[in-house]
Structure 1
Amino acid sequence: MSDRPLVIDVVDNGGQWTHREWRMLRYLKVDTQIIDNTTPVSELRELDGLILSGGAARVGLTGELGNCGAYLELDIPILGICAGHQFMARHYGGDARESPEPEFGAMDIELIEGGGAIFAGTNATQTVWESHNDEVHVVPDGFFITAGSPSCKVQGMENEAGDRFGLQFHPEVNDSEFGKEMFENFVAVCRARQGED
C-alpha cells in the first residue's frame, strides 16, 4: 500500500455547490483541489479519483462538458454528480436529455438491488436534494441502475467494473440524508484501488 495521501480532485463544471464537494473531501482527510473543466489531462496531478461536479450546462441539450470526456478515459474511479452523471452516461453510449418532470428540492429515492458501492450502509429509501432539468434516460452498456424515483428512473448508476458512478442528485447538499456516507464510500473505493497499485 502506498504511503502517499489519497488524491481526489473535483472538476468544476460551473455548479453552484462544487465547493461543498471539495469541502466534504477535505473533511474526509483527502488531498483535494478544485480544477477547471478545461484543464488538460497532461496538467492533472497523480490522482486516485476524480469527481465531475454538477453545473449549469444542459448536457441533455448540448452534450458537452469541457474536457470531461478525456478525464473519463483515465484509469481511476470517477464519480459524476448531476451534469457530471449525465455526461458520463452519454460518453459511454447512454442517453441524457430533457426531463419530462424536472426536479428541484428534497425528493425521496429508492435503492435498486442494494444500490451498489456508493449507497453501501444507507437506507433503501432516502431523501436527497435535486436540482436538474435534464436526466439520464438510457444507461450505457456495462452500467446498472442503483437508485430511482417515480419521476426519474436513473437517480444513480454504476458500471460493472466498479469504478464509474453517477448520481443525479446532489449528495454534497446537507438535505441529502446520506450524502456524507456516499462520499465516504467513494473515498473507500479510491483507497482500495490505490492499495492495488
Structure 2
Amino acid sequence: MTRIVVVDNHGQFTHLEHRALRDMGVESEVVDNETPPAEVDADGIVLSGGPDMDRRGESPAYLDMDVPVLGICLGMQIIAKELGGSVGAGEYGGYADVTVDVLDEDDPLVGSLAPETRVWASHADEVKEVPEGFTVTGQSDVCGVESMSDTDRDLYGVQWHPEVSHTEEGQEVFENFLALCE
C-alpha cells in the first residue's frame, strides 16, 4: 500500500489533508515538522500549509528524500525559497475564492483540472519567482504562481488548499499526487 506522510507546518487544515488521503485508502500519517526525514518511511510527502516560514522546522530536508513532494500553500513557498525562488507578500491578502487558469494540461498534478478550476486560497504570502527547473502550471488574476511543478525532481506545489470543501476539484489533486507516488 502506498504511504504518504503529511509534514505538519502548524496549519489549520493539516488534519484535512491527512483525512483526504485516508479517505482515498492511502496509508497516511501526520508528523511534526521537527521530525527528521531519516525517521520517516514514505512513498510521498505532503508539506502542509502553515502560518510562518520561520516555523518550517525540518521541512526543507524532505525535498531530498527522492520521493514525490506536494507543497500546499506554505509548503509550496518552502519549496520555492529553498530551491532558489522567491516568496513575498501577496497583494490580495487573506483567504478568497479564486479561479485558477491551468496553464499546462499535461502537468501530472493539475493538468486534469484544465482549463480552469475554482479554489480556496490564502495570498498573504506567495511565490513570486519559481526556482530553476520549475514551470508555472497555474495562475489567477490575484497571483502569478498559483501552482508549479518540477517533473524531473517530482516536486509540486499549489498555493491553494485542495483539502477544503470550497476547492471544487481538490480531491482530484490528491488523486493525481497519489498516482505520482504509486
Q: CA deviation at 1:37?
A: 0.1
Where do 5+ consecutive residues of structure 2 fail to align? none
Write out the 4+ residue segments of structure 1 that deviate beyond 3 Å after TM superposition. none
Separation (CA, whole Å) in 1 of partners of 2:176 and 2:101:
18
Do residues 130 (structure 1) and 125 (structure 2) align? Answer: no
**Alpha-carbon contact 1:117-1:162 (below 8 Å) kept:** no
Q: Which runs of 5+ in 1 are unaligned?
A: 192-197
Deviation, 1:102, is 1.6
* Alpha-carbon distance between aligned partners in 2 of 1:10 and 1:50, rounded to the nearest angstrom: 6
Root-mean-square deviation (CA, aligned residues, Å) is 1.3
Where does residue 56 of structure 1 map in the other structure? 51
User: In the TM superposition, what is the alpha-carbon distance from 1:101 to its structure 2 partner?
Assistant: 2.1
Bigger Cα Rg:
1
* Equivalent in the alignment of 1:10: 6
Percent identity of paired positions between Structure 1 and Structure 2? 40
TM-score scaled to structure 2, two decimals? 0.95
- Tell me the alpha carbon deviations over residues 31-72 of structure 1, each in whole angstroms, 9 at most, x when there is no partner: 10110000012211x210000000011x3xx4x511011111
Shift of 1:149: 0.5
Letter in 2 for 1:189: L
TM-score by length of 1: 0.88
What is the count of residue pairs matched by the alignment? 182
Q: Call closer, same or farther: CA 1:13–1:79 in 2, change over 3 Å.
A: same
Q: Distance in 2 between matches of 1:42 and 1:181?
A: 29
| Distance in 1 between residues matched to 2:90 and 2:79, nearest whole Å | 17
Partner of 2:57: 66
Q: How far apart are residue 183 of structure 1 and its match?
A: 0.2
Write the mapping of 1:33-44 to structure 2, written as runs, cut at 5 A: 33-44=29-40
Are 2:115 and 1:120 aligned? no
- The residue that corresponds to 2:160 in the other structure is 169
